Amino acid sequence: MGHGRHGHPFGRHADADGFVEHIAARVGAKLDLDAEQQRLLAAWFGQLQQQRAALKGLARGPELAGLIAGEQFPRESAQQLLDARLDALRAAGPGVITAFAEFFDALDGEQRQVLRFMMRRFGHSRRRE
């Protein structure tokens, strides 16, 4: 799997059209998913993309530019901005968990083992960077 900036698989290409579909297709092929399992995987990826968009907005929004426009850094305004973003992430968290749980629970034992292996491999490759 190609990696974006800093070796992160959801780096610069994550916003490209079809990226999530490409990853879902690759995972689906490795796990030999049926149509329902593929739909559940796509739903989980959709939830992850929503979380990613919320995080991305934290560092790039016009609010950040406004924070550094003055002579003094407005700590209270920055804290309010951060709290608002964290609240949005907390609100979306249960959806991410539910989507993954539904996907995982739809897998059979062999598919779960393959997924565990894939996750271990991904984790090991991330630690080497």
pLDDT single digits (tens) 103-113: 999 999 999 99
Read off the tokens for 67. 């924070």
Q: 112 vs 20, which has greater pLDDT?
A: 112
CATH assignment, 35-128: 1.20.120
The C-alpha atoms of residue 28 and residue 38 are separated, in whole angstroms, by 6
Cβ distance 14 to 52 under 8 Å?
A: yes
This prediction's pTM:
0.69
Cβ distance 58 to 66 under 8 Å?
A: no
pLDDT single digits (tens) 49-89: 888 877 776 666 677 788 889 999 999 988 988 888 888 88
User: Interhelix angle for 35-60 vs 19-31, to 10°?
Assistant: 140
Domain coordinates in residue numbering, the chain: 35-128
